[in-house]
Amino acid sequence: DVLRWQFSESNGTGADPALLRNLGEVRGIIEPAAVRLAAARRTDADLEALEAALTAMGQEGGASDAVEADLAFHRALLAATHNELLERMEMVIESGLAQRDRLVHSAPHSEDPVPSHRAVLDAVRARDPDGAEHAMRALLDQATRDLDKLSGPSAPEGTDGSTDEKDGQAQ
């Protein structure tokens, strides 16, 4: 609830770039590891849920349909881990991912999300944890690039872009 509130209230637009970057970092920690488990543990029902979400993602519709399809895909991936705590991570990821998706999918010339998600699904289907992790990292890299197109590049890793008051140098 707090995250949902932060995304809806920040800057009056619901799109605090720092909070979206924080989300990207959390996703970079959680989702590659989760998709490895999903590749090892997935069931036929999990594959059906992932395929249904991907099919919905590829259909023509409004930005809200694209957002819901993407959320369904990531929920299904976490569910395919069959780890209750990872499944609950969707509560942390979902509100920020929904806001990020609304921004990206409403922007002109946004890239088709289906191929990168398809690569993840194909690796999970093949029970290929390494391939699934690689595909997820590529998907997350694309998500960062999409966000950078909208809000400008992220600060270099390990910095916040601030300057040291003592010598005026960037930290």
pLDDT digits (tens, 9 = 90+) for 74-114: 999 999 999 999 999 988 888 788 888 877 777 666 678 89
* pLDDT tens digits, one per residue of 8-36: 554 445 567 788 888 899 999 999 999 99
Phi, psi (degrees; rounded to nearest 5) at 170: -65, 140
**CATH class of this structure's domain 7-149:** mainly alpha
Say which residue the tokens 């770039």 belong to.
Answer: 17
SS3 103: helix
What pairs with residue 163 in β-bridges?
170
Q: How confident is the model at residue 163 (pLDDT cuts 50, 70, 90)?
A: very low
CA–CA separation, 152 and 135 (whole Å) = 24
Check residue 8 and give its pLDDT: 58
Q: How confident is the model at residue 158 (pLDDT cuts 50, 70, 90)?
A: very low
DSSP assigned state of 107: S
What is the reported pLDDT for 147?
Answer: 81
Q: Residue 160: what pLDDT?
A: 42
Coil, strand or helix: which one is 120? helix
Question: Residue ranges of the domains in the chain?
Answer: 7-149
- 106: nearest Cα among 73, 140, 64: 64
Distance of alpha carbon 34 from alpha carbon 37, whole angstroms: 5
Q: Cα 130 to chain center, whole Å? A: 19
Mean pLDDT of 49-71: 89
Neighbour count for residue 25 (Cβ, 10 Å): 13
Q: Two tokens at 107?
A: 């922007």
Please state, in angstroms and rounded to a whole number, the distance separating the CA atoms of residues 92 and 130.
Answer: 25
3-state secondary structure of 59: coil
Residues 6+ apart with CB under 8 A from 70: 53, 57, 97, 101, 113, 117
Per-residue pLDDT reduced to its tens digit, 62-80: 777 888 999 999 999 999 9
pLDDT band at 137 (very low <50, low <70, confident <90, very high): very high
